[in-house]
A and B are shown apart, each in its own frame.
Chain A
Amino acid sequence: MESYMSFSYITLLLLEGFGKTFLLFFLTLFFSLPLGLVVSFGSMSKIKPLQYVTRIFVWIIRGTPLMLQLFVVFYVPGILFDVQLFNGVNGRFTAALVAFVINYACYFSEIYRGGIEGIPHGQYEAGQVLGMTKPEIFFRVILMQVVKRILAPISNEVITLVKDTSLARVIAVAEIFYQNENYILSKGVVWPLFYIGVFFLIFVGGLTLLFNYLEKKLSYYRV
């Protein structure tokens, strides 16, 4: 038994958990940041039905717990349609990823929408009278201003995501807490909890530094 509880063994287990946490975090961002933009276009669409459907969807996702969404994504396809979308260990991870991406895309979409709608109308009109096309106006004029406006709320959301990854354990994704609980805490050892705390502090600290750096980079102009 002694060997199972050795520092190196526990470290190995936790590292595996860290790995999963990292992966979930980066993949969620990778998919949800662009998907959020698509959702925000839907919620600002001139086509009213599309706008309503998108806004209601966003409202539902933002109005229900992420934990519930994890359960729904993981179990409902099997129960209702008898299809096993998410099989095995990787299946659980994929299910968690899908739930996270949908959830975060909706949060990001609202941030994008706020950012885009906050741009003064004159910026579009200036682009228009200078003969710019719609894509030119969006990519050359609007986008950078939106990025600057949304950087702070996005950074909040990203840091929340770091901590939300721990929710994946509810469908038994072997992220850091799952590892901790199943193999370590049950053996009555407490110090790995501090280990995890330090991990999150370093992770969040690094992200905070990154976002501060980006904010500085963009501080050369004011919108």
Chain B
Amino acid sequence: MAFLEIKNLRKRFGDNEVLKGIDFSMEKGEVISVIGSSGGGKTTFLRCLNFLEKADEGEFFIENTLLFDAKALYTDTEIREKRLSFGLVFQSFHLFPQYTTLQNVLIPLNLRTFEREGVKRLPFRKRRVAKAEITERNRQKAMEILKSVGLESKINEYPCHLSGGQCQRVAIARALALSPSILCFDEPTSALDPELTGEVLRVIKELKNEGRTMIIVTHEMEFARFVSDRVVFMADGVIEESGTPSEVFDNPKSPKTKAFLASYQESF
């Protein structure tokens, strides 16, 4: 079995069946781009993976272990635990405006470390010491990650003073800090001015070089071709076609893929 295995994922909103049985798998270190026309269910797919939507049917396996089964009932705590296998970078960043760059990365990381290391159960005094220690350790980690996305000079800035590209890099750093097994991006550059997309795409490229496992929903065809190991074309809630970038972009088999790519070329 592959590193991540999704079987027969289905999701409907009322009468509208948005995901009609998605089978999806990827290897560790693989980068997969998901392309497709608007309303095809790409965002819904990522949201189901991150448990922001509850899948109606389907099973998720990571490294041969069942992570999620739509038939089972899970508590909030279990879901929270499970979603840490995934990270999600949103189209419009959703940074926490009241926190600095560093705090945006550090605070979620701290909360999870406190929980994992059982800080709450310590007596009050030890708790403070433990929190300080963990914070120091995490600060190092957060700083390293922020450096790797080129933001070490902005650690004390608030999001309102950052450009869109910088915000998105903070959002990526924030997701990376929790060390997800699979990092998902939902159109990470769609909310950016064209001249700012480059800096974000460069960061994603570097993450690929580091061997990160990533699923990238994107409308940047050039980038998808260049960064992906595999490209998945999604249409009307099913995976219509998938293959290497050159298979999908240069020799698409499905008529729907052909039509989509043709319409894309026309619009430029």
- Interface of A toward B, CB cutoff 8 Å: 120, 122-123, 125-134, 136, 140-141, 144-145, 148, 220-223
Q: Which residues of A contact B112 (CB under 8 A)?
A: 130-131
Nearest B residue to A125 via CB reads: B52
- Interface of B toward A, CB cutoff 8 Å: 50-52, 76-77, 80-81, 83-84, 86-88, 90, 92, 94-98, 107-108, 111-112, 158-160, 174-175, 178
Q: List 20 A-B contacts (CB under 8 A).
A: A120-B94, A122-B90, A125-B52, A125-B90, A126-B94, A126-B95, A128-B50, A128-B51, A129-B52, A129-B83, A130-B174, A130-B175, A131-B108, A131-B112, A133-B80, A134-B76, A140-B96, A148-B98, A221-B97, A221-B159
A17 CB to nearest chain B CB (Å): 42
Q: Which residues of B contact A132 (CB under 8 A)?
A: 80, 108, 111
Q: What separation, in Å, do the CA atoms of A145 and B99 have in the docked complex?
A: 10
Q: What separation, in Å, do the CA atoms of A140 and B90 have in the docked complex?
A: 20
A126 CB to nearest chain B CB (Å): 4
Contact, CB under 8 Å: A131 / B107: no
Q: Which residues of B contact A129 (CB under 8 A)?
A: 50, 52, 83, 86-88, 175
Contact, CB under 8 Å: B158 / A128: no
Across the interface, B94 reaches (CB within 8 A) one of A122, A134, A144, A148, namely: A122
B254 CB to nearest chain A CB (Å): 32
Which 4 pairs across A and B sit closest by C-beta, in order of nearness? A126-B94, A130-B108, A122-B94, A222-B160
A221 CB to nearest chain B CB (Å): 5
A218 CB to nearest chain B CB (Å): 9
Q: Which residues of A contact B111 (CB under 8 A)?
A: 131-132, 136, 140
Q: What separation, in Å, do the CA atoms of A213 and B53 have in the docked complex?
A: 42
Q: What separation, in Å, do the CA atoms of A140 and B96 have in the docked complex?
A: 9
Interface-centre pick from A122, A126, A127, A220 (highest chain B CB count, 10 A):
A126
A1 CB to nearest chain B CB (Å): 62
B91 CB to nearest chain A CB (Å): 9
Q: What separation, in Å, do the CA atoms of A223 and B99 have in the docked complex?
A: 11
Q: Which residues of B contact A128 (CB under 8 A)?
A: 50-52, 80, 83
Contact, CB under 8 Å: A221 / B160: yes
Nearest A residue to B89 via CB reads: A129
Q: Which residues of B contact A144 (CB under 8 A)?
A: 98
Contact, CB under 8 Å: A122 / B92: yes
A127 CB to nearest chain B CB (Å): 8
Across the interface, A123 reaches (CB within 8 A) one of B81, B94, B108, B175, namely: B94
